[in-house]
Amino acid sequence: QVQLVESGGGLAQAGGSLRLSCAASGLTFSRYHMGWFRQAPGKERELVAAMWWNTANTYYADSVKGRFTISRDNVKNTVYLQMNSLKPEDTAVYYCAASALRINNPQYWGQGTQVSVSS
């Protein structure tokens, strides 16, 4: 049974930082592309950052470039999202996702963690 468990969400002030973690189990983590999505109230879920397992290339949405950093630890089976210079518009539920093929069509999802940024 595959499980993705996020942690690290919470409340931050604008300009502050948070680090999200996603611990994976039940899959060969090192062979999965990993991504972080977010969904704000009334908006569609969007991919904000991704890291491919086979090239270590990364993707960032324009809205988070230069502020967010995705990384992974294949020994700990964990993917991280370091979020700096947070803005109120970063407020959303953040989801970890895993895919063996295309990260924009994940096979597995975490339960989500709330990030709220106050101005």
- Report d(CA 15, CA 34) in Å as an integer: 26
What pLDDT does 54 receive? 82
Residues of the chain with confidence (pLDDT) below 50: none
What pLDDT does 118 receive? 97
What pLDDT does 55 receive? 79
Lookup: tokens for 42: 């009334």
What pLDDT does 109 receive? 98
For every residue of 33-52, DSSP letters joined together read: EEEEEEE-TTS--EEEEEE-
